[in-house]
Amino acid sequence: MQKKFLKNLMFLLFLNLLVKPFWILGIDRQVQNVTGTQEYGFYFAIFNFSYLFFIFLDLGITNFNNRNIARNNHQLQEHFGGMATMKLLLGFGYGILVFVVAWLIGYQGPQLYLLAWVGFNQFLLSFILYLRSNISGLLLFSTDSIISVMDRMLMILIVGTLLWSGWFGGPFSIEWFVYSQTLAYLLTVTFALMVVLRKSGKLRLHWDFSFFKMILRRSLPFALLVLIMSFYSRMDSVMIERLLPHPLGDQQAGVYAQGYRLLDAAQNVAYLFAVLLLPLFSKMLKEKKSIDGLVTLSFSIIMSGALIVAVVTQFFAKDIMLLMYSQHAGETTIAFDLRIAQSACIFKLLMWSFVGVASNYIFGTLLTANNSLRTLNTIALLGLLLNFSLNWILIPKYHAVGSAVATLSTQILTALLQIIFAFVILHLKSRFRLWFRLSLLFAGTFLLAFVLQYLNIGSWEIRLLLLTGLGFLLGITVKALDIKQFVGILKDKTNENI
């Protein structure tokens, strides 16, 4: 299983690092620069509001299905038609719920119009994720990897054409951005559906109340977990926009989006670990195989990367923000400098929170595979209460920066609790040597950063690349990243078809 994980992780990382950095830095960033911080902040708040209720498009079906298909491949043909019907029904329910809540909290004309399109996109994305859960549950990781980047590849093509071709009259608007997402998702759904149909046969939509009841009863614990986690990870920009007066709320949501963009990119990479690990952990736990090796391998890789990225961000956040964002038309130099300073501070805080996020993608996935959902839900609820309370207290005084503090506090708390309970429930071996090596990596990377800044070698870009490269070399030296182990796993011919 370690070999399967490592080989597919490398392929998945290759595809995502090929496509998603260009999407985030070349397309999404440029959209914000073209449309302006306030208009993009308006979209960002609407998007995150729609995401708060994303679980009602799914109710835990995708996580349950991924785990179930990995354990029982034959149930794809039995369940596909019924689950597809459920997804369509949940889509209608989601639309009604989102619009009712939006109306209750004061959303009006332009907000509701944009919400309709963004909500439809969320439905398409949810259906893509459900289709992918069948594909990865069958352990077809290469096919799933291709589908995981297909929507972004299409959006790069469509939005890039709109931004730079000059074929369409008028200035680029945020609505064009949303329409492009709709088209890209529709094409990706079509392709993913064709892949699943090759394995399941014809799709026959049918109403079966007893089947729906059985699936919902099994998947609702997953749904509750995702709902709570969605609220504490996505409500930040919504609370910023709602708690601060207009137009400051939209503007600060846009500033938060600037700092959040690269965290989102990092989370996308970390999420790839969960995509691979959930079916592997589920299968190994069912077959009562030792998971210690896979846990250690995956955690050492993701945590080494997270620590290096967090330290690099600490020293180069402002430079990165200045590189990514330009001064808007009509924006004073003082206002621009303030916006960059705020976004840099937010960026630092959020990238330290990524250390917690990265850990959660290993130990949260492990607890999910073990069906320890009551424990996960309790931890998530504590995280939600902390996040909401801190946002409520800090946003009015510190604006978007206060929300970043809330996110950091929440992610670190939930990560520590998940690690503790994973070790207790699953009786994992204590890896003190690994923790010591990660501590050496963290301290050593910090020391290298101070030395490079003191020596002032070359431009900041050169120092950033040097620090990143030296950080990974240090990780290999102290064996936080054990290259010899990785090579040994890849060369191992045993259990080739597991």
So where are the chain's domains? Answer: 2-429
User: Model confidence over 383-433: pLDDT tens digits?
Assistant: 999 999 999 999 999 999 999 999 999 999 999 999 999 999 988 887 788
- What is the chain's mean pLDDT, rounded? 84
What pLDDT score was predicted for residue 497? 42
Q: How confident is the model at residue 168 (pLDDT cuts 50, 70, 90)?
A: low
Is 80 exceeded by the pLDDT of residue 338?
A: yes
Q: How confident is the model at residue 27 (pLDDT cuts 50, 70, 90)?
A: confident
Give percent of the chain with pLDDT exceeding 90: 38
Task: Read off the pTM.
Answer: 0.72
Is 80 exceeded by the pLDDT of residue 169?
A: no
How much is the average pLDDT of 170-199? 89
Q: How confident is the model at residue 209 (pLDDT cuts 50, 70, 90)?
A: confident
How much is the average pLDDT of 132-148? 78
How much is the average pLDDT of 303-331? 91
How much is the average pLDDT of 439-467? 92
Is 70 exceeded by the pLDDT of residue 73?
A: no
What pLDDT score was predicted for residue 203? 63
The more confident residue out of 45 and 76 is: 45
What pLDDT score was predicted for residue 452? 92
Q: How confident is the model at residue 74 (pLDDT cuts 50, 70, 90)?
A: low
What pLDDT score was predicted for residue 78? 63
Q: How confident is the model at residue 5 (pLDDT cuts 50, 70, 90)?
A: low
Q: Mean pLDDT highest for which of 39-48, 365-374, 380-389?
A: 380-389
How much is the average pLDDT of 150-176? 84
Is 90 exceeded by the pLDDT of residue 373?
A: no
Q: How confident is the model at residue 54 (pLDDT cuts 50, 70, 90)?
A: confident
Of the ranges 1-10, 47-56, 156-165, 383-392, which one carries the lowest mean pLDDT score? Answer: 1-10
What pLDDT score was predicted for residue 291? 85
Helix/strand/coil (H/E/C) assignment for every residue in the chain: CHHHHHHHHHHHHHHHHHHHHHHHHHHHHHHHHHHCHHHHHHHHHHHHHHHHCHHHHCCCHHHHHHHHHHHCCCHHHHHHHHHHHHHHHHHHHHHHHHHHHHHHCCCCHHHHHHHHHHHHHHHHHHHHHHHHHHHHHCCCHHHHHHHHHHHHHHHHHHHHHHHHCCCCCCCCCHHHHHHHHHHHHHHHHHHHHHHHHHHHCCCCCCCCHHHHHHHHHHHHHHHHHHHHHHHHHHHHHHHHHHHCCCCHHHHHHHHHHHHHHHHHHHHHHHHHHHHHHHHHHHHHHHCCCCCHHHHHHHHHHHHHHHHHHHHHHHHHHHHHHHHHCCCCCCCCHHHHHHHHHHHHHHHHHHHHHHHHHHHHHHHHHHHHHCCCHHHHHHHHHHHHHHHHHHHHHHHHHHHHHHHHHHHHHHHHHHHHHHHHHHHHHHCCCCCHHHHHHHHHHHHHHHHHHHHHHHHCCCCHHHHHHHHHHHHHHHHHHCCCCCHHHHHHHHHCCCCCCC
What pLDDT score was predicted for residue 185? 95
The more confident residue out of 26 and 460 is: 460
The more confident residue out of 479 and 6 is: 479
How much is the average pLDDT of 162-187? 85
How much is the average pLDDT of 490-495? 50
Is 90 exceeded by the pLDDT of residue 29?
A: no
Is 90 exceeded by the pLDDT of residue 474?
A: yes
Is 80 exceeded by the pLDDT of residue 222?
A: no
Is 60 exceeded by the pLDDT of residue 307?
A: yes
Q: How confident is the model at residue 496 (pLDDT cuts 50, 70, 90)?
A: very low
What pLDDT score was predicted for residue 18? 74
The more confident residue out of 14 and 326 is: 326
How much is the average pLDDT of 130-159? 83
The more confident residue out of 267 and 474 is: 474
Of the ranges 102-106, 144-148, 154-158, 231-235, which one carries the lowest mean pLDDT score? Answer: 231-235
Is 80 exceeded by the pLDDT of residue 487?
A: no
Q: How confident is the model at residue 465 (pLDDT cuts 50, 70, 90)?
A: very high
